[in-house]
Amino acid sequence: MSQREEEFLEYVQAGGQVETGDWMPDDYRAKLIKFIEMHGNSELMGVLPEREWILRAPTLQRKLALTAKVQDEVGHAQLIYRVVEDLGKPREACLDDLVSGKAKFHNVFHYPTRTWGDVGVIAWLVDAAAIISQKALLKCSYAPYARIMKKICWEESFHILHGRDVVLTMMNGTDEQRELVQEALTRWWGPLMQFHGNPIPRDDDPMFVWRIKSQGNEEARQGFLDGYVPQIWELGLSVPDPALRKRDDGVWEYTEPDWDELRHVVTGHGPRTADRLDLRKRAREQSAWVRSVVLAEAA
């Protein structure tokens, strides 16, 4: 590493903030783009499992709340891709890489949704897992990204409320409704435990070294378990992991997640990866004329 790069590293590790026009090491810029792009891809892909349920929402209120939630996610993708573009990678290039399978997105969005129970569990727990990571990103060394995280976190808080409301209403409803929630939770637990990534020590994680992330993967997972397992148990729901427990020292123990599954899924082999990317690709192709004829810069 050159001296200038060393100084930059010390600067960010001491809490220094970086703006778009500042000098930055090539590696920092590259890691930043990769990390932020994956976030944008995840928001955009996260829309697809949920939007099917917009059409099936069982009350007008749920329909509105779910549409607003998915709208927020598209809005987040917009904010995030703008940041990536200002770092040097245009939105169209990001979308090209997404649909071609070259770029990644979070594991949870590769799985199917099967019932209205999934709608509640996703909005409550998947968004909760995401918000644990997103709150940590408020301290990202790259300031434009840290700034958009504020709006993102604010909007995510509505999503979790909506998710909890959906779940609680069902838990207070019929046996069938309770079963829908439990069944969804049982299916989603594996991906949720994998969500924060394998427990690489944070000093070995380049994203932490550059202070793009301000917490390690295991720290995030522990935060999720500590915040949400009590909420799950208090409703009488069971988590499909007999080893899950909180030790006296406050650390949660659990059955080691299947890291092979995680790797397999995020490299594009999830149960719904192919058809969701295909949907994106087709939608994009069909609306290409709109972008070139109408949305391109005014002559």
Partner 1 sequence: MNERARRLLEIADDELVLGWRDSEWTGIAPSLEEDVAFSSISQNEIGHARALYELAARELGTTADQLAFDRQPEEYLSAPLVELRRLEWARTIARHYLYETADAVRIEALKSSDDPDVAGLAAKIEREEAYHLMHAELWIDRLLATDEGRSRLREAVEELWPYALGVLDDELRPVWVSRVRERLGFELPDVEPVTREQHTEELRELWEEMTSVRRSIPAGAEW
Partner 2 sequence: MIYEVFRQERKGQPFQHAGSLPAPDASFAEVYAREQYGRRGESVALWVVPREAVHEVDEFVDELERNYHRVDGYSLKAKLKEARERAGTPAAGDR
* Bridge partners (DSSP) listed for residue 18: 142
Which one of partner 1, partner 2, none is in contact with 21 (Cβ closer than 5 to 8 A by kind)?
partner 2
Which one of partner 1, partner 2, none is in contact with 251 (Cβ closer than 5 to 8 A by kind)?
none
Are 201 and 216 in contact, with CB atoms under 8 Å apart?
yes
Question: What is the C-alpha to C-alpha distance for residues 122 and 158, in angstroms, rounded to an integer?
Answer: 13
Q: Which amino acid is at 33?
A: I
Least distance (Å) between residue 145 CB and partner 2 = 12
* Bridge partners (DSSP) listed for residue 245: 253
Are 119 and 113 in contact, with CB atoms under 8 Å apart?
yes
Applying CB under 8 A, the span of 27-35, 125-133, 172-180, 217-225 interacting with partner 1 comes to: 172-180
Are 138 and 174 in contact, with CB atoms under 8 Å apart?
no
Applying CB under 8 A, the span of 15-23, 169-177, 212-220, 251-259 interacting with partner 1 comes to: 169-177
Least distance (Å) between residue 60 CB and partner 1 = 5
* Contact set with partner 2 (CB under 8 A): 21, 71, 75, 78-79, 82, 86, 91, 148, 151, 154-155, 158, 294-298
Site for partner 1 contains 56 (CB under 8 A):
yes
C-alpha 296, offset from chain centre = 30
Residues 26-55, one symbol each (x = binds partner 1 by CB under 8 A, - = not), give: ------------------x--xx--x-xxx
Question: Exposure of 15 by Cβ count < 10 A (0-12 exposed, 13-18 middle, 19+ buried)?
Answer: exposed
Question: What is the C-alpha to C-alpha distance for residues 180 and 286, in angstroms, rounded to an integer?
Answer: 36
- Positions touching partner 1 (CB under 8 A) are 44, 47-48, 51, 53-60, 62-64, 67-68, 70-71, 73-75, 77-78, 81, 91, 116, 166, 169-170, 172-174, 176-177, 279-280, 283, 286-287, 289-291, 293-295
